[in-house]
């Protein structure tokens, strides 16, 4: 395979070639995995293991590789990302129940399609879908919801209706890896580079294997005791499948919002639209007269659950934005101090 046709099977195009122009003499490649200070990069010479010089790369990144004396490879540069899937607050939780980290974590780069994966059984987390959709919209990728394990659903049409209500303007697909139902529809939307996001045990890796047509990722049965997944996938991994590329991810325990204001508005488009109709511009949709949001709940047009989810995520987004502002202020203060010290030092006596 020629260089260009191999690279284009990984998503390389003219605009990537243009971004790569300053690195003439280095080797272009796409990051498939990052693990403990090293990353796997697919290049025209096959998969190369490399370290990095500056910022750590992420699965999906396009990079320029430099061969070091002694034969090791190094990521000399990461090409500017087109899209970035970032989550906030990893692991820690504060008293407010919100994530305690205002630094975003990059989950995947240069993703065209974000597949929010949720199982039909044992339970389908509508709140989780809404949260991931807000992040997906924010990332710049096109989101879809994929309901897995359709073969286990007691009432699939009813479930899909509830999921669609939690995902306005988003395509919802049901699949079963057991029967193969719905796989073609997922294949049709998973063009370019897709990322799979969802809880452990949802069947993300099983879906990757089904799309790949062979077992590329390890899978494991959920725990019988509580129906939870076993966190089988431990690293994000870019896999080449017929017709595209998919990034499998470890099941997320908790995903915090991160600078998701715009994404949140899109994930709750119908609520935001209703809010425009409220009598007061600063309506909090609690008790105000002429509140169009409350009227819609009253009339049964807007599920109460939806309003509660919107409130919760908006509170979290506002809190996260305040944290980020505080961090930026502290950083700026530090920079100013360093600058002043330098000015004092350089002042002629």
Ligand X SMILES: Nc1nc2c(ncn2[C@@H]2O[C@H](COP(=O)(O)OP(=O)(O)OP(=O)(O)O)[C@@H](O)[C@H]2O)c(=O)[nH]1
List interacting residues with ligand X (CB under 6 A). Answer: 148-149, 151-152, 176-178, 200-206, 219-222, 229-233, 250-251
Question: Is residue 4 classed as helix, strand or coil in its secondary structure?
Answer: helix
CB of 259 to ligand X, least distance (A): 25
Omega within 30 of 0 (cis) for the link into 272:
no
- CB nearer to ligand X: give 134 or 252: 252
Q: Is the dihedral of CA 26, 31, 33, 36 positive or negative?
A: positive
Residue of 266, 285, 306, 314 interacting with Zn ion (CB under 5 A): 285
Say which entry of ligand X, Zn ion, Mg ion, none residue 230 contacts (CB below 5 to 8 A, set by partner kind): ligand X
Residue environment code for 30-39, b if the CB has 16+ CB neighbours within 10 A, otherwise e: bbbbbeeeeb
- Between 96 and 122, name the residue whose CB sits nearer to ligand X: 122
In the complex with Mg ion, which residue's Cβ is closer, 201 or 244? 201
The single residue among 99, 139, 176, 233 that binds Mg ion, judged by CB under 5 A, is 233
Which of 58/278 has CB closer to ligand X? 58
Q: Is 69 exposed, middle or buried (0-12, 13-18, 19+ CB in 10 A)?
A: exposed
Instruction: Pick the piece of the chain touching Zn ion (CB under 5 A) from 27-35, 42-50, 278-286, 298-306.
Output: 278-286
CA distance 319 to 257: 10
User: From residue 264 to residue 293, what is the string marking binding to Mg ion with x (rule CB under 5 A)?
Assistant: ------------------------------
Query: Does residue 87 interact with Zn ion by CB under 5 A?
Result: no
Query: Min. distance of Cβ 194 from Mg ion in angstroms?
Result: 15
The reply on whether position 314 binds Zn ion by CB under 5 A is no
The residues, ordered by sequence, that sit 6+ positions from 37 with a Cβ below 8 Å of its Cβ are 51
Number of alpha carbons in the 13 Å side-chain half-sphere of residue 320:
26
Alpha-helical regions (H) of the chain: 3-9, 14-20, 126-139, 156-165, 183-189, 204-212, 261-267, 269-276, 292-298, 304-346
How many residues of this chain bind Zn ion (CB under 5 A)? 5
In the complex with ligand X, the residue whose CB is nearer, 147 or 283, is: 147
203 binds, among ligand X, Zn ion, Mg ion, none (CB under 5 to 8 A by kind): ligand X
Our CA angle for 122, 128, 130, nearest 5°, is: 130
Nearest distance in Å: CB 304, Zn ion:
14
Rounded CA gap, 70 and 108, in Å?
A: 31
**Partner touching 152 among Zn ion, ligand X, Mg ion, none, CB below 5 to 8 Å by kind:** ligand X
Residue located via tokens 């260089």? 3
- 124 vs 205, which CB is nearer to Mg ion? 205
Nearer to ligand X, 139 or 232 (CB): 232
Q: Does 205 sit near Mg ion (CB under 5 A)?
A: yes
In the bound state with Mg ion, the residue whose beta carbon lies nearer, of 233 and 265, is: 233
296 binds Zn ion per the rule CB under 5 A: no
Which option in ligand X, Mg ion, Zn ion, none does residue 60 bind, with CB closer than 5 to 8 A by kind? Answer: none
CA-based angle 20:21:23, to the nearest 5?
A: 70
Buried residues in 297-336 as b, exposed as e (16+ CB within 10 A): beeeebeeebbebbbebbebbebbbebbeeeeeeeeeeee
Give contact residues for Zn ion (rule: CB under 5 A): 278, 283, 285, 291, 293
């Amino acid at each position: 395979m020629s260089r260009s046709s191999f690279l284009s099977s990984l998503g390389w195009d003219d605009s990537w070639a243009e971004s790569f122009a300053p690195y003439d003499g280095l080797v272009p490649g796409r990051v498939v995995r990052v693990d403990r200070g090293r990353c796997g990069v697919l290049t025209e010479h096959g998969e190369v293991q490399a370290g990095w010089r500056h910022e750590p790369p992420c699965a999906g990144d396009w990079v320029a590789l430099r061969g070091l004396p002694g034969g090791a490879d190094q990521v000399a540069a990461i090409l500017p990302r087109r899209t970035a899937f970032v989550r906030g607050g990893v692991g820690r939780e504060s008293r407010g129940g919100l994530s305690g980290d205002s630094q975003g974590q990059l989950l995947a780069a240069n993703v065209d399609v974000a597949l929010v994966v949720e199982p039909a059984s044992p339970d389908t987390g509508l709140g989780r879908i809404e949260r991931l959709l807000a992040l997906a919209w924010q990332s710049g990728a096109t989101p879809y919801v994929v309901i897995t394990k359709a073969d286990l659903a007691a009432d699939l049409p009813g479930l899909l209706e509830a999921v669609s209500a939690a995902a306005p303007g988003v395509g919802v697909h049901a699949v079963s890896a057991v029967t193969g139902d719905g796989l073609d529809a997922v294949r049709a939307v998973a063009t370019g580079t897709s990322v799979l996001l969802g809880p452990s045990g949802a069947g993300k890796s099983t879906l990757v294997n089904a799309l790949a047509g062979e077992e590329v990722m390890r899978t494991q049965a959920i725990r019988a005791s509580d129906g939870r997944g076993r966190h089988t996938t431990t690293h994000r991994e870019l896999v080449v499948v017929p017709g595209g590329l998919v990034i499998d991810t470890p099941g997320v325990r908790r995903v915090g919002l991160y600078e998701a204001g715009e994404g949140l508005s899109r994930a709750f488009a119908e609520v935001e639209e209703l809010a425009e109709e409220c009598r007061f511009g600063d309506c909090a949709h609690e008790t105000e007269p002429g509140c169009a949001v409350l009227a819609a709940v009253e009339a049964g047009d807007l599920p109460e659950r939806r309003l509660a989810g919107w409130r919760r995520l908006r509170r979290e987004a506002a809190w996260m934005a305040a944290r980020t502002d505080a961090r930026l202020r502290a950083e700026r203060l530090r920079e100013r101090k360093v600058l002043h010290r330098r000015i004092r030092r350089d002042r002629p006596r």
